[in-house]
Amino acid sequence: MDIVIPLFERFTALDAIGPYEVLARLPGARVRFAAERPGPVRTDTGGLSVVAEVGLAEVERADVIVVPGGPGSRELVGDAGLVGWVRRLHPGTTWTTSVCTGSLVLGAAGLLDGLEATTHWGAVALLESFGARYRPERYVVQGRIITAAGVSAGIDMALHLAGELAGRPVAEAIQLGIEYDPQPPFDRGSVAKADPATVALVSRLRELRTSA
Amino acid sequence: MDIVIPLFERFTALDAIGPYEVLARLPGARVRFAAERPGPVRTDTGGLSVVAEVGLAEVERADVIVVPGGPGSRELVGDAGLVGWVRRLHPGTTWTTSVCTGSLVLGAAGLLDGLEATTHWGAVALLESFGARYRPERYVVQGRIITAAGVSAGIDMALHLAGELAGRPVAEAIQLGIEYDPQPPFDRGSVAKADPATVALVSRLRELRTSA
């Protein structure tokens, strides 16, 4: 089983590594990171690079695609790069999936038109500009397309996907292997649970990072 | 604020990237990956390398240390490598922390003797061999040492730590920023919630990966 996670400059690390950690534990799965050019790819936070093993052009098919999000995803348009790659590979995949604003890449590839989908809560209008209807859920399954909500939601989505690919007992063993029994110390993980001050502070923190 | 995440061959990616994603969003924080030698460091699953920006020898102090776990952590002993580095830097840190079997490195450095601590559920006996008393919690705070449980628990621990370092409003904004409102599709994330067949399957999956 060939699973490919495409990377691009300024992707969000956890969007990619959360699902990776789950899917790499599937028996018989090969999970590879691909990018425009093989080599280190910078994340959105600057201090971290993840190595892409292969170039996108070398990957002509995959059973599963997981497109992460991040600020860089908003600049991916047109057929030349990742958007075109997703459009070309999608007809041959078993599952085409995204995490966070990775959904915008699926949208730009024309895959979400008329479908329900999710994304990071800060990118709802952009998602809907591609003809999708936003649903505020951890992940949304539409046929063989799955979109996950922001960043950490990729772990929940990947466990669901692991169940689809290898059966529930294996998926549960993977959950136990990564000891995924989450107990966040706070309860502000969605817009529905946050007040306006917290929402505003998210933007302020992002500006501080961008200007740093 | 200087935060350092030391890497070693066969670390577990999510152990490091979960806390990274949280802590890199702290205003004024610099988060760096360090390793014996700068450059790509292989994870335990083979297909993924993360780039260490600096060598351990170049890092003589840090405000916060986060030691990830992984199969490679069990081979780190003696003063020459990471264990000695942790022992030397710990007196100058504000917080010394670990995720998963990263606790074994803290233990080998002599930091956990007589303390309560946690680790991956599969490494309890090893943890206790360093004089620690295991507590089956997401993270355990003892003075300025925090140990987190397996793999994904590093996210919960890092949010707690973000609250300590920058105050609860900032930590809550980070939680919202990464949309961390976890809803795992299954409920087998701890040994207390798993049956013996699931526990056995975790070992079997690990053997399959090791022999691949």
Beta bridge partners of A98: A67, A147
B104 neighbors B78 (Cβ within 8 angstroms): no
B28 found inside a domain? yes
DSSP label of B44: T
A94 found inside a domain? yes
What the block records as the tokens of A55 is 């170039």
| Residue A22, CA distances (Å) to A5, A114, A176, B107 in order | 13, 30, 11, 27
Quick: pLDDT tens for A33-60: 999 999 999 999 878 999 999 999 999 9
Where do we find the tokens 């971290």?
A: A48
Mean pLDDT value across chain A: 95
Q: Count CA atoms within 13 Å of residue A212 on its CB side.
A: 18
A191 found inside a domain? no
Give the pLDDT confidence score for residue A80 in this predicted structure: 74
A136 found inside a domain? yes
Best A1, A5, A11, A14 member to test B by mutation, with max B CBs in 10 Å, is: A14
B88 found inside a domain? yes
Note the Cα A149 to chain centre separation in Å: 8
Ramachandran class of A15: left when φ > 0, alpha when ψ lies in -120 to 50, beta otherwise: alpha
In our burial notation (b when 16+ CB lie closer than 10 A, e otherwise), range B1-13 reads eebbbbbbebbbb
pLDDT band at A210 (very low <50, low <70, confident <90, very high): confident
Overall pTM > 0.90:
yes
Closest Cβ opposite residue A152 in set B12, B53, B182:
B182
Give the pLDDT confidence score for residue A212 in this predicted structure: 58
Give the pLDDT confidence score for residue B76 in this predicted structure: 77
In our burial notation (b when 16+ CB lie closer than 10 A, e otherwise), range B141-168 reads beeebbbbbbbbbbbbbbbbbbbebbee
A100 is catalytic: yes
Q: How far is A102 from chain B (nearest CA, A)?
A: 14
Q: Which H/E stretch holds residue B49?
A: strand B49-52
| DSSP per residue, chain A | -EEEEE--TTB-HHHHHHHHHHHTTSTT-EEEEEESSSEEEEBTTSS-EEEE-EEGGG----SEEEE--SGGGGG--SSSSHHHHHHHHGGG-SEEEEETTHHHHHHHTT-STT-EE---GGGHHHHHTTT-EE--SSEEEETTEEEE-STTHHHHHHHHHHHHHH-HHHHHHHHHHTT-----SS---SGGG--HHHHHHHHHHHHHHHH-
Domain count, chain B: 1
A193 found inside a domain? no
Catalytic residue among B16, B50, B66, B100: B100
The stretch A198-206 carries a mean pLDDT of: 93
Closest Cβ opposite residue B198 in set A13, A176, A198:
A176
B103 found inside a domain? yes
Owning domain of residue A136: 2-184
Contact A178 B151 (CB under 8 A): yes
A68 neighbors A7 (Cβ within 8 angstroms): yes
Instruction: Return the CATH number at A33.
Output: 3.40.50.880
The stretch A114-134 carries a mean pLDDT of: 97
Beta carbons within 8 Å of A102's beta carbon, 6+ residues apart: A15, A66, A67, A68, A69, A73, A147
Distance CA A135, CA B147 (A): 36
Distance CA A201, CA A196 (A): 9
pLDDT at A211 over 70: no
Give the pLDDT confidence score for residue B176 in this predicted structure: 97
Q: Could you tell me which residue, B113 or A73, shows the higher pLDDT?
A: B113
Where do we find the tokens 């933007």?
A: A203
Distance CA B24, CA B11 (A): 19
- Compute the Cα dihedral for A210, B3, B8, B12 and give only its sign: negative
Quick: pLDDT tens for B65-102: 999 999 988 877 776 799 999 999 999 999 999 999 99
Which segments in chain B show pLDDT lower than 50?
none
What the block records as the tokens of A166 is 């290898």
Select from B128, B98, B100 the least CA-distant residue to B114. Answer: B128
Distance CA A168, CA B73 (A): 30
Name every chain B residue with its beta carbon within 8 A of the beta carbon of A1. none
A190 found inside a domain? no
Quick: pLDDT tens for A176-200: 999 999 999 999 999 999 999 999 9
Closest Cβ opposite residue B169 in set A40, A53, A198:
A198
Name every chain B residue with its beta carbon within 8 A of the beta carbon of A178. 14, 150-152
Rg of the Cα trace of chain B?
16
Contact A172 B186 (CB under 8 A): yes
